[in-house]
Amino acid sequence: MNIRRVVLTGFMGSGKSTVGPLLADALGWNFVDVDQEIESRSGASASFLFQTLGEAAFRGYEFSVMSMCLDTTETVIALGGAAVDLDIARRLLSVCNDCWIVFLDGPFDVLIARCLSQEGSGDATYRPLLRDREAALAHYAIRREWNREIAQQIIDVSRSAGEAIAASIVNRLLP
């Protein structure tokens, strides 16, 4: 197995940005968070871009940043929760032979509760979906199917802490 990058995917609140740096440290690799990369490349906040460009253009931009991240090696990449909404993004991920795609899965209520507590502590990315619980549930269900299709490893994040999740990914990667 010649894996050159790990891609973390999952619904908002699944811990991609928490597990990512822990995993990168354990592997001695770099960590890239696509949401943060969008902000540092554009010089604007995701919320500003989303509101100014509109959702479709924002998703297109997010896809181009994700593609650039996939050009790197020895990198752990945390996708935004909505990355898999685009058919082209799912296809790109599914043909990435040297990517190890990990779906951080968990019950809807647990993930939403985590997002709300992150919002309360001011420690959160811009999450428009959080305002509409019914839409969030519909997105959760369809993204769960898509994430299950593209992932090589699926982890229930409600059962383990970030360190244990990172360790279980390392265990699958190292011989």
Smallest separation, CB 54 to ligand S3P (Å): 14
Closest to ligand S3P by CB, 5 or 139: 139
Closest by CA to 125, choosing from 22, 48, 67, is 48
Q: Which is nearer to ligand S3P, 14 or 100 (CB)?
A: 14
Q: Across 36-161, where does the E strand assignment appear?
A: 75-78, 99-105, 153-156
Cβ 15 to ligand S3P shortest distance, Å: 10
Is the CB of 148 or the CB of 174 nearer to ligand S3P?
148
Residue 112 falls in which region: left (phi positive, over 0), alpha (psi -120 to 50) or beta? alpha
Would you call 95 helix, strand, or coil by DSSP?
Answer: coil
Minimum CB–partner distance for residue 98 and ligand S3P (Å): 24
CB of 46 to ligand S3P, least distance (A): 6
Residue nearest ligand S3P by beta-carbon distance: 80
Would you say 111 or 169 has its CB closer to ligand S3P?
111
Q: How many CB atoms lie within 10 A of CB 5?
A: 21
The rounded distance, in Å, linking the Cα atoms of 38 and 60 is 11
- Contact set with ligand S3P (CB under 6 A): 12, 16, 35, 46, 80-82, 125-129
